[in-house]
Amino acid sequence: MKTAARIYTFLIFLFLYAPIVVLIIFSFNSSSVGSRSVFTGFSLRWYNQLFQDSMLLAALRNTLIIAVVAAAVSTVLGTAAALGITRMNKWLRRVVMDVTNFPMVNPDIVTGVSLMLLFVAGNKLIGGSTLGMASLILAHITFCLPYVILSVMPKLRQMDPNLAEAAQDLGCTPRAAFFKVVLPEIMPGIMTGLIMAFTLSIDDFVVSYFTSGTTQTLPIFIYSMTRKRVSPEINALSTCLFGIIIVLLLIINVRTAKDKKSDEAPAKEV
């Protein structure tokens, strides 16, 4: 049974990561026509062309700006919301969590169209610019927020609810108790929500398509390329993004492992 389980696990990981490995390999393909089926040799030509494509770099810049702002804002709001939800009574907390979960199960196309109509109606009522960077950021905050809340909530449940009160009994102000006691305890959940919000924002296409106006993000730019031909530069760009995400995950995992060791060390001494 153990052998069968290992084979099954290997096949699952092979199915998940084989396409990414192929993409990385062909990002170094020296083929002049950018063949996606024949590897002719190792070359960095597509990486060089990537950093010379002004339109693609502009779309990447827009995507990163939106992802960073949306992830930061949704993390702050989601953490504050999670703290408030944990202090509600049972029935009110259940209702609020159902409302929070709804955007996650709602089809993206419904979310995108509804947000587009909301922004257009808002522009007509209060004036202002048409759909663009601001509407994209607000839309991304909207669908990233529930994921942050659901990442922070388990850490709040695991934390001893009396820690903050104990810190205040020892002389901390409520603000100091939050930043010195509560925040470090829930930081792993906050970082998980931040990374999840960042990756979801970079990956989003449907909601961005309806709320972007004339602003192009990377998924929208790639979609426009598919009408003609997808350039192998996309392989190089995808490899760079994949590498950045891997580095971020490694940093977070190493930091989490160090924190666990530092927490376990005093317990062993006692």
Please check the confidence at residue 205 and state whether its pLDDT lies above 50: yes
The pLDDT tens digits of the residues spanning 46-67 come to 888 888 888 888 988 999 999 9
Rounded to an integer, what distance in angstroms lies between the CA atom of residue 161 and that of residue 153? 13
Please check the confidence at residue 92 and state whether its pLDDT lies above 70: yes
pLDDT of the residue at 35: 59
The pLDDT tens digits of the residues spanning 141-150 come to 999 999 999 9
pLDDT of the residue at 266: 53
Q: Is 118 contained in some domain?
A: yes
DSSP-derived secondary structure letter, 178: I
Query: How buried is residue 124: exposed, middle or buried, by Cβ count under 10 Å (0-12/13-18/19+)?
Result: exposed
Question: Once rounded to an integer, what is the mean pLDDT over residues 62-79?
Answer: 94
Q: Is 242 contained in some domain?
A: yes
**Cα of 36 vs its chain's centroid, Å:** 28
The pLDDT tens digits of the residues spanning 10-23 come to 999 899 888 888 88
Q: Is 16 contained in some domain?
A: no
Q: Is 32 contained in some domain?
A: no
Q: Is 25 contained in some domain?
A: no
* Domain span including residue 240: 46-265
Q: Is 222 contained in some domain?
A: yes
In Å, what is the CA distance from 115 to each residue of 80, 105, 204, 208, 211? 23, 16, 14, 10, 7
Band of residue 37 on the pLDDT scale cut at 50, 70, 90:
low
Which of helix, strand or coil describes residue 162? coil
Rounded to an integer, what distance in angstroms lies between the CA atom of residue 208 and that of residue 225? 16
Domain total of the chain: 1
> Could you tell me the CATH number of the domain that includes residue 110?
1.10.3720.10
Residues forming a β-bridge with 42: 29
pTM: 0.81
Q: Is 259 contained in some domain?
A: yes
Q: Which tokens is 219 given?
A: 């998924």
- Lowest mean pLDDT of 75-79, 170-174, 265-269, name the range: 265-269
Question: Once rounded to an integer, what is the mean pLDDT over residues 123-135?
Answer: 79
In Å, what is the CA distance from 139 to each residue of 12, 105, 117, 206, 219? 33, 16, 12, 11, 15
pLDDT of the residue at 270: 47
pLDDT of the residue at 106: 85
pLDDT of the residue at 262: 62
Please check the confidence at residue 79 and state whether its pLDDT lies above 80: yes
Q: Which tokens is 28 given?
A: 């170094």
Q: Is 172 contained in some domain?
A: yes
> In this prediction, what percent of the chain has a pLDDT beyond 70?
90
